[in-house]
Amino acid sequence: MNVRQGYRVELAPTLQQRARLGRHAGLSRVVENFCLEKVKAALAQREAEKTYGVPDAALTPVPWSAPALERLWRAEHRQRYPWFTDEGLSSRVPKEACRVRAAGFRNFFDSRSGKRKGRKVGFPGWRKRKHGSRFRYDAGRAQPEAARWIRLPSVGKVRTLDDMSWLTNRIADGRARVLGSTVREQAGRWWVSFQIEIDRRDINQQRIVPADAPACGIDVGVKTFATIVDDDGTITEIHAPKPLKAALRRLRRAGKAVSRKRLGSSNRAKAVKRLAKVHLDVASKRADFLHKTTTRLARSKRAIAVERLNVTGMVANRRLARAICDLGFGEFFRQLAYKAEWYGSSVWAADRWFPSSRLCGGCGAINRDLTLADRMWACGCGLEHDRDVNAARNLLAVMLLEQSAA
């Protein structure tokens, strides 16, 4: 069975290739803003036509779709942006930029109509240089040619810092193919992310969870990232590195250094890069912890019971927002779900309103007076509970009960 997944490697471009990558990122930004300009101009024209009494069927059409935006770009870029042809930039980048902008419009309307779940998406805005450098290639235009070389259209053969044998071997024998790629710059470093379709059966079979592996319940929290209770009674605690908390002093110093530099100066650009480097270090440490933790759990537990948290609502608490964002609960559950599917495990999520911490595992009574500050609490039946251990044990018990009844 083929699945879709991402595969990211860091590039080691030469100075000339860095400049070339930067030009393609600028091209993508220009095309996205061109598309937004055309849509806003069409909307303004429609409003004007309505005041003249023009019927709805005869109003100026709005180019919402990627093909319509691409046609406008092809018709006008020679006059408005002659440097695009003169510099020999890739024609695939504008095509993908039109698709990105069309997807933004579609997400906006789907969010308003209720088709798109989650937080409401606003109308796309102008893309600026400070929003970051990135561009896309469609299909297999960008391909890994060897273990440490990638060919990017109109950029050339770029060396990578990571060994890609895992991917190149599978592309060579037909077990994987590239669907698209995104090139992105962060803190002066360049990465390429491949969206691939791959047959993972051999990989998953080698790392499949053992049949006699334990089932577990997991309670996540701010003080202890994860409290794990196995069905054999084993209790394990996992503590997160909290990289943002550890880097707050560095972030403050780097932020002050940026604010003290003159706008537009080279010193300010250097200070911005140093600040971005601290942010990248924080994100990398968090991602490393989450990937290692979720992989270990998915490959060692046959069934996992978790909570279904309202992370957005939790972040609304201004006293806990920074700590919760530093832990990455949403990403933890997302990774755990797809990795469990890879390795033959299963993830069961309790109802959002299930009182896992308040429920006594002995008598079933609910302690409605429990607060976040209460780490230990005693039930009227005589049992004394550790808040996190009790929650994980209750999640495990409910999952096993549902599985036995099914």
Residue 117 has pLDDT above 90, yes or no: no
Give the domain ranges of the chain.
Answer: 2-199, 206-405
Residue 25 has pLDDT above 90, yes or no: yes
pLDDT digits (tens, 9 = 90+) for 346-402: 999 998 888 988 888 888 888 888 888 888 888 888 888 889 999 999 999 999 998
Alpha-carbon Rg for the chain, nearest whole angstrom, is 26
Supply the pLDDT for residue 2: 87
Residues labelled catalytic: 219, 307, 388
pLDDT digits (tens, 9 = 90+) for 177-206: 999 999 999 999 999 999 999 999 888 989
62/41 Cα distance (integer angstroms): 9
Amino acid (1-letter code) at residue 229: V
Identify the CA nearest to 289 among candidates 300, 299, 281, 278: 281
Identify the CA nearest to 183 among candidates 221, 228, 226, 150: 150
Task: Name the average pLDDT for the chain.
Answer: 93
pLDDT digits (tens, 9 = 90+) for 119-163: 889 999 999 988 889 999 998 899 999 999 999 999 999 999 999
Q: Percentage of the chain surpassing pLDDT 90?
A: 80
